[in-house]
Structure 1
């Protein structure tokens, strides 16, 4: 997808980009490629592929009308090179975005990126999702949590649901739809007082299938969740 195609597709969906936003995406691409030579950020380095499979793919929650253009608090778990939250932040500057990632090198990249793109209200923390979720400054503080290809729902729900306010939503972006994955996660979702509200399917402009599972938090998460770092993966609920 050429940058011009990207701009036109957004304009067609009533999301025209300003010159500044176009420059932000361009600079994002340049820094991603530059830093990718030092630390492993992405296997996708072709410009047209980055615009399609990173930038366009990341803004799907906005294109699917799942995220409002207001000053909501959004947490991105395991965002890697900033996907999906930072392309959404460029599109909706009023979002308040927090990223937690377990690799400090990636956090350093994200800090520099935010500075270069002149992004306000973005916060980056190095550490494990399990640990921050037990901190009152993070627990039950967010309207949305996003995760793109991070883990199976059975594990992902324990890592993310505790961060949500009651009524908040987890948006899990995936490239494959596994109905059995949601069946497997049924017990975890019950224990975490949360429920699958929707499982959206759509296609990227090149025809590749994509899915977003929307999970709503119904009640406060019991204090014992999430368990210690590593446990959700080792012994899923």
Structure 2
């Protein structure tokens, strides 16, 4: 996806980018490639692929959920900043907190935020399981996002404890989301969530399947969740 296609495809969805925003995406790409030589941030470094599979793909969450409102978003395991940093560039009014378990990725994100001159962004080095029991963050976010971090039964335990009651958890998945949802249904309910909507679509150009699951937090997460680090992955709620 070349920049003109990126811009045109977003315009079709009602998103018009300013020259300053387009410049931020260019700087993002350059910084990602530069740092990727020092540390493993992404296997995708071809410019057209980065714009399609990282930037555009991240922004697809806003096609199905209203990002025009002001809210505090937490991105769990964002790695090199996906999906929250592209969303922050497009919707600069949202506040973003990223939690990631690798400190070197947090170093990259801090540098990136300075390069892109982003405001109201916070980067925290922590495991999702310990972050989720911290009273400062637990049930404190309007929206929590995660993109391809773990299967739904595990991901729900990482993310739903962070969502305030009435807020939303947005899981961004590739193929097999329906199977994952079936296996993860018990976890979602146990942790206080309910699937509100699920959207299936294909990425432009390469036509690969994508799924966005929007889960509403309807009641408080029981105090025992999330369990200690490593437990959700080894013995998921199923």
TM-score range, shorter chain: over 0.9
Q: Which 5+ residue runs of structure 1 have no aligned equivalent?
A: none
Normalization by structure 2: what TM-score?
A: 0.97
Partners of 1:109 and 1:160 lie apart in 2 by 23
Change (3 A) 1:220 1:111: same
Confirm whether residue 76 of structure 1 aligns to residue 83 of structure 2: no
Query: Aligned ranges for residues 1-237 of structure 1 at < 5 Å?
Result: 1-64=1-64, 66-206=65-205, 207-237=207-237
- Residues of 2 paired with 1:58 and 1:190: CA distance? 26
Distance 2:201 2:73 in 1: 23
RMSD across aligned positions (CA): 1.0
Q: Which runs of 5+ in 2 are unaligned?
A: none
Q: Normalised by the size of structure 1, how large is the TM-score?
A: 0.97
Inter-CA distance 5–180: structure 2 relative to 1 (3 Å threshold): closer
- For each residue in 1:22-53, what CA deviation from the matched residue of structure 2 results, as whole angstroms up to 9, or x when unmatched? 10000000000000000000000100000000
Contact 2:177-2:211 at 8 Å conserved across structures: no
The total of aligned residue pairs comes to 236
Cα deviations across residues 148-172 of structure 1 (Å, max 9, x unaligned)?
0001110011110010011111111
Shift of 1:190: 2.2
Q: Distance in 1 between matches of 2:63 and 2:178?
A: 23
CA offset digits 1:76-124 (Å, max 9, x no partner): 0000000000000000000100000000000000000001000000000
After superposition, give the CA deviation of every residue in 1:187-218 in whole Å (9 maximum; x if it has no partner). 21221121111111011111111101111111
Equivalent-residue separation in structure 1 for 2:90 and 2:187 (angstroms): 33
Q: CA deviation at 1:14?
A: 2.2
Secondary structure of 1:116's aligned partner: helix
Give the C-alpha shift of residue 179 in structure 1: 2.3
